[in-house]
Structure 1
Amino acid sequence: MSEVAVDHAQLVPHPIPVEPVARILLYAMRRMAIGGLDDAHAANVLLGQFGLSYRRPLIILRALMLEVSSTSQRSISIAPCCCRRMTADEALLLGSVESATGRPDLACRLMAELTATLDCLAPVSAAQALGQAFEDMGRKVVL
């Protein structure tokens, strides 16, 4: 059996966000991607971040994850929750949420690259709603 050298820098090329809000969003996205939309850990981390107002961002995050997965024409790479780096796909997803409220054109380009389709209005709309929900609660997503 031959061993294949794996370049981990290509698998997870980006560092995780320094800002705690983006880091929590990344964790919740990873939990939902791995454990499903009803993952209790994702709900719990948003409860810890937003208190009793956690339901709005939780429901919108679920909608975003559902829209991205149903729209995408390719497999999206997600790192394990314990990983201290991000995949390129995770960086694109977080970048689209970060830019969706202020720069929807950039969010659309990032989402099109992530999903490998130009028909990405629904996931960009969900990213915009999620970014707005975070901003409304005083926790802007900044990478």
Structure 2
Amino acid sequence: MTIAPTTALTLQDMPACDHARLFLFAFRRMGAHGLNDATAAHAMLRGFGKAYRRPLMLMRALMADVATQTSVTIAIAPCCFSRITHAEAAMLTVLARVEREPAAAALLLADLLGMRCVDGVLASTTAVAAAFADAGHPIGRG
């Protein structure tokens, strides 16, 4: 993943869902600063309280899977940016759909990652979505 200059990005509005914004913040921080970014961990701690470990560890696993499995560059915006890239929007859509519409989520993830077989990344994505939902923070696209 790379942070692209904001002038080169096609942007969408930030999602209204607080949980999606928490995911997006951690996604951006870990994408830019690595899996052990303290700011991302602190955001997860503040968002989830004592139950932060499972979502944080699964988020790290997802980021590692995405980074190692993708064959294309995934554009992420800087953390402070108030709009999202199409790649970030696609990831949020996958997270919102993965439990209800796994086939559609798999196709969208395959397009995002530029590969045919996305089973491992889809499993990681499903685990992150479930961890958020189990902790009372379901990720919605809206």
The TM-score normalised by the length of structure 1 is 0.91
Superposition pairs of residues 2-41 of structure 1, within 5 angstroms: 8=7, 11-41=9-39
Counterpart for residue 123 of structure 1 = 121
Larger radius of gyration: 1
Q: 1 or 2, which has the higher strand percentage?
A: 2
- Matched residue type, 1:25: F
- Is residue 12–residue 85 contact of structure 1 (8 Å, CA) maintained in 2? no
Return the alpha-carbon distance in structure 1 between the equivalents of residues 15 and 49 of structure 2: 22
The yes-or-no answer on 1:75 pairing with 2:110 is no
- Matched residue type, 2:16: V
Return the alpha-carbon distance in structure 2 between the equivalents of residues 132 and 124 of structure 1: 12
Q: 1:100 aligns with which of 98, 101, 104?
A: 98
Structure 1: any 5+ residue segments left out of the alignment? 1-5
> Cα offset for 1:87?
0.7
Higher relative contact order (CA 8 A, sep 6+): 2
> What SS does structure 1 have at the residue aligned with 2:75?
coil
Counterpart for residue 40 of structure 2 = 42
Return the alpha-carbon distance in structure 2 between the equivalents of residues 63 and 97 of structure 1: 15
- Percent of aligned positions with the same letter in both sequences? 36
Q: 1:62 aligns with which of 60, 65, 86?
A: 60
> How many equivalent pairs are there?
137
Return the alpha-carbon distance in structure 2 between the equivalents of residues 117 and 129 of structure 1: 20
> Cα offset for 1:7?
8.9
Return the alpha-carbon distance in structure 1 between the equivalents of residues 100 and 139 of structure 2: 11
- Is residue 6–residue 77 contact of structure 2 (8 Å, CA) maintained in 1? no
> Cα offset for 1:12?
3.5
Please identify runs of 4+ aligned residues in structure 1 that moved more than 3 A. none
- Matched residue type, 1:131: A
